[in-house]
């Protein structure tokens, strides 16, 4: 049985712009000790909100800045923790019980403010990360993290490879941003059928540019899904771009 759609979660929290992410990445290297300090994050959020032309509904929150830095610092730890060992057993290097809800019905705090997505090994689709529960290093040296997917309970938790299956969350596209999508780009595409509705990696094969109207972008994008090589023509509303694009 396939997972339900996560399209409803795409616009619940404002997204950082690429220049804002670059600035935070620079700060990540320069001043790690101050990054989760509330006053520091307050000033940074105020700066972003004053220079990016955001309206009230799209303002960046202080906790969102804090969570971005906390998540990035945790990912860095996962990627650098422990070298491989001779044992064939998996070595558990860290587990945070405070991050684990007491039961599957308890809501994880600030779950919408995390900025990562993870690839499920069950269906190959990408889902928003609700929280990181634990991480470990395999005997091969590969780091893994146990994630709880946003909107799902503990029974859906998975161990995923940090380097191959965890990444910064893809960005929904607005009508005015269709010019940012080019042939050859890697995108995240919403695929819906009778069994499930999920997001998969795909590449843009062809673009039919059309005049926009009152409904917004009317361009058509021919995409090819990476997981099954099927092709489909979709509108911009079905696509999310990668932050590096």
| Over residues 210-239, mean pLDDT | 93
Whole-angstrom distance, CA of residue 75 vs CA of residue 169:
14
Are 151 and 185 part of one and the same domain?
A: no
Any domain includes 1:
no
Any domain includes 114:
yes
**pTM exceeding the 0.75 threshold for the entire prediction:** no
Percent of the chain with pLDDT over 70: 69
Are 136 and 219 part of one and the same domain?
A: no
Single out the residue of 8, 16, 9, 62 nearest to residue 40, CA to CA.
Answer: 62
Whole-angstrom distance, CA of residue 158 vs CA of residue 119:
10
Q: Which residues contact 152 (CB under 8 A, 6 or more apart)?
A: 3, 127, 130
Quick one: 64 exposed, middle or buried, by C-beta within 10 A (0-12, 13-18, 19+)? Answer: buried
Structural domain that includes position 18: 7-168
**CA gyration radius, the chain:** 19
Q: Residues 169-208: pLDDT tens digits?
A: 898 888 889 999 999 999 999 887 656 678 999 999 999 9
- Of the residues 109, 142, 168, the one at which a domain ends: 168
- Of the residues 168, 191, 212, the one at which a domain ends: 168
Is the pLDDT confidence value at 88 over 70? no
Q: What's the total number of domains in the chain?
A: 2
Residue 222 confidence class, pLDDT cut points 50, 70, 90: very high
Is the pLDDT confidence value at 144 over 60? yes
Are 59 and 143 part of one and the same domain?
A: yes
At 119 the pLDDT is: 94
At 175 the pLDDT is: 87
At 128 the pLDDT is: 87
- Of the residues 108, 143, 168, the one at which a domain ends: 168
Are 79 and 142 part of one and the same domain?
A: yes
Q: Residues 9-30: pLDDT tens digits?
A: 433 456 677 678 788 888 877 7
Whole-angstrom distance, CA of residue 165 vs CA of residue 6:
17
Are 181 and 221 part of one and the same domain?
A: yes
Any domain includes 2:
no
């Amino acid at each position: 049985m396939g997972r339900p759609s996560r399209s409803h979660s795409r616009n619940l929290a404002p997204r950082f712009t690429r220049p804002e992410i670059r600035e935070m990445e620079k700060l990540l290297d320069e001043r790690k000790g101050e990054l989760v300090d509330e006053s520091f994050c307050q000033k940074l959020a105020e700066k972003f909100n004053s220079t990016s032309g955001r309206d009230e509904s799209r303002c960046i929150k202080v906790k969102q800045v804090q969570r971005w830095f906390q998540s990035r610092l945790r990912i860095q730890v996962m990627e650098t923790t422990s070298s491989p060992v001779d044992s064939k057993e998996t070595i558990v290097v860290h587990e945070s019980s405070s991050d684990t809800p007491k039961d599957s019905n308890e809501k994880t705090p600030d779950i919408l403010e995390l900025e990562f997505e993870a690839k499920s090994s069950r269906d190959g689709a990408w889902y928003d990360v609700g929280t990181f529960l634990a991480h470990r290093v395999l005997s091969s040296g590969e780091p893994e993290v146990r994630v709880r997917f946003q909107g799902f309970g503990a029974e859906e938790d998975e161990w995923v490879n940090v380097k191959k299956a965890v990444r910064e969350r893809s960005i929904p596209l607005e009508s005015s941003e269709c010019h940012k999508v080019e042939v050859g780009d890697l995108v995240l595409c919403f695929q819906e059928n009778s069994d499930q509705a999920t997001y998969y990696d795909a590449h843009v094969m062809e673009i039919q540019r059309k005049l926009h109207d009152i409904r917004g972008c009317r361009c058509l994008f021919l995409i090819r899904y990476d997981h099954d090589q099927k092709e489909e023509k979709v509108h911009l509303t079905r696509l999310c771009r990668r932050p590096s694009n």
